[in-house]
Structure 1
Amino acid sequence: MSESSEIIVGRNSVMEALKSGRSINKIFIAKGERQGSVKEIIGFAKDNGLIVQEVEMKKLDELAKGMRHQSILAFAAPVEYVEVEDILAQAQEKGQAPFIVLLDELEDPHNLGAILRTADAAGVHGVLIPKRRSCPLSATVAKTSAGAVEYVPVARIGNVAHTLKDLKKQGLWVVGADMDGDKDYYEADLTGPMVVVVGSEGKGLGRLTKEHCDFLVRIPMRGKINSLNASVACSLLLYESLKQREMKAK
């Protein structure tokens, strides 16, 4: 497989990708396959917090498209993930208050791509996505982002609540977009070090995530539909925050 490809096939190729530190989204192994190097790969992947999923051999055959997969393949991210600390350090280097987006179980790659595009335009320092039940970086995300995936650092996180707790300890305010918000988003102070949290397309923010927000803001809805597309909702908040930051700097 070429280096730019989204799928890496075969035991040696997958193991080398893991050892090199390549950003891997997920590993598929054939059901019941736990022998030799596959067992070693599973151990290595789990030690590094990567998702390993058992699938039918037929599924691997379809994804490998005729290439010899040896019962295993991996999905690689089109760009490298970073650490949360890298994002905070980048803000510090620029002499700016950290401006971060956290996506709570967002699953649509088109929404993620659109959010990365807006994040780049609005001056966001980085985007955080959970490792589980969230859309990873993929070719579809990269394409929808119109190149923004190359410029906006993305970090994969474990537990959302723990991450928010850590960021709050470092002085960041956490604002969540939610229909039950305390005030309309343009009435809230969206300046200073901040994490903007946006929920999934269907369920919105999870209960625990809401509890770890400092405040919730709502987007007023005057029509028959009661919610906006996640990427549109995120765009409104990011640009309101950008406007407030620039007004404050004058």
Structure 2
Amino acid sequence: MAKSSSKKGLRGRAGRMQGGRGSGRATHGQVRLWGRHAVEAALKNPLRQHRKLWATREGVASLDGELPEGFPIEYAEVADLGRLVARDAPHQGLVLECDPLPDVYLDEVLNGEADRPVVVLDQVTDPHNVGAILRSAAAFGAAAIVTQDRHAPPESGVVAKSASGALEIVPWVRVVNLARALEEMAEAGYWRIGLAGEADAKFAEALPAGPIALVLGAEGEGLRHNIAGHCDALARLPIGEAMESLNVSNAAAIALYAVATRSG
């Protein structure tokens, strides 16, 4: 369990936001995470309440840091770990059971750093896509992602694995009413841009200076009419005619890059 003394303890990162209004339900019950990046990030997050780590000795050796003394760990074989997670899940010798993250509230995000975009997801339910969007949000400095509580995946091992550690970094706000959340963003001075393939304006043309809320809809259905109506502008990414659309996580990454590199 102990490793090289030159490594720092797995105690890491603080700063999740609590308090305020506009939060929906978070995940209830225990969460089981797997894979080195997801487990390591959770172990470094002081706001995670860890319950138990199942691991191979090789898995523990791969972690960047030392487990605290007395940390609840059970060593197991690879096949045994495979029975603790989804079928064929790439656990990499590490499975962590922990409590869900604390609720994050919208007003705390909106009162934060306005130069960082907020990503709003309208009924994006695929956990792989949400995880990939969290990863892009972390890479390009987004302040948070915002979803409706009833139409988004729960916090899970699949989301965490796809996010590659970003679940512990990017605040995830769950709201009861997404349209009302968009109204609150407008009141806070955010320009709300919805991505829509049928829009006339290209994304770069609709991108002003100032706070941005980037609004993306589910694959296939796109933005719901009411949510599109709560956007200040609709815009499309300039993709070639050979492809009708992009995966929502790819579209999010491109739009976040455009926001991060805009001039002015």
User: Which residue of 2 is the match for residue 151 of structure 1?
Assistant: 169
Render the CA deviation track for 1:54-86: whole Å, top value 9, x for unaligned.
Answer: xxxxxxxxx9xxxxxxxxxxxx87423300112
Equivalent residue for 1:25, pick from 21, 27, 31: 27
User: Which residue of 1 is the match for residue 55 of structure 2?
Assistant: none
Equivalent residue for 2:180, pick from 128, 139, 162: 162
Higher relative contact order (CA 8 A, sep 6+): 2
AA in 1 matched with 2:161: K
Structure 1 stretches lacking a partner, 5+ long: 1-22, 28-62, 64-75
State the number of aligned residues. Answer: 174
Structure-2 separation of matches of 1:239 and 1:210: 22
Structure-1 separation of matches of 2:221 and 2:229: 15
Query: Kindly, what percent of the aligned residue pairs are identical?
Result: 35
Q: Tell me, yes or no, if the aligned pair for 2:194 and 2:216 is still in contact at 8 Å.
A: yes
Equivalent residue for 2:210, pick from 192, 206, 211: 192
Deviation at 1:182, TM superposition (A): 3.0
Alignment of 1:114 onto 2:137: no
Render the CA deviation track for 1:101-145: whole Å, top value 9, x for unaligned.
Answer: 000000110100110010011110111010112223211111110
Structure-1 separation of matches of 2:241 and 2:224: 25
Q: Tell me, yes or no, if the aligned pair for 2:203 and 2:235 is still in contact at 8 Å.
A: yes
Alignment of 1:83 onto 2:105: yes
Question: Residue 26 and residue 203 in structure 1: after superposition, are their counterparts in 2 closer, same or farther (change >3 A)?
Answer: farther
Q: Tell me, yes or no, if the aligned pair for 1:116 and 1:149 is still in contact at 8 Å.
A: yes
Equivalent residue for 1:225, pick from 228, 234, 243: 243
**TM-score, scaled relative to structure 2:** 0.61
**TM-score, scaled relative to structure 1:** 0.64
Tell me whether 146-155 or 213-222 shows the greater mean CA deviation.
Answer: 213-222
AA in 2 matched with 1:140: V
Structure-2 separation of matches of 1:114 and 1:100: 15
Q: RMSD of the alignment, in Å?
A: 2.2
Structure-1 separation of matches of 2:117 and 2:141: 8
Aligned to 2:159, what secondary structure does the other structure show?
A: helix
> Structure 2 matches for 1:104-143, cutoff 5 A?
104-143=122-161
Q: Tell me, yes or no, if the aligned pair for 1:181 and 1:215 is still in contact at 8 Å.
A: no
Question: Residue 120 and residue 90 in structure 1: after superposition, are their counterparts in 2 closer, same or farther (change >3 A)?
Answer: same
Structure-2 separation of matches of 1:200 and 1:221: 18
Structure-1 separation of matches of 2:210 and 2:198: 23
AA in 1 matched with 2:102: E
Higher relative helix content: 1
Aligned to 2:234, what secondary structure does the other structure show?
A: strand
Q: Tell me, yes or no, if the aligned pair for 1:175 and 1:197 is still in contact at 8 Å.
A: yes
Question: Residue 184 and residue 229 in structure 1: after superposition, are their counterparts in 2 closer, same or farther (change >3 A)?
Answer: same
Question: Residue 180 and residue 223 in structure 1: after superposition, are their counterparts in 2 closer, same or farther (change >3 A)?
Answer: closer
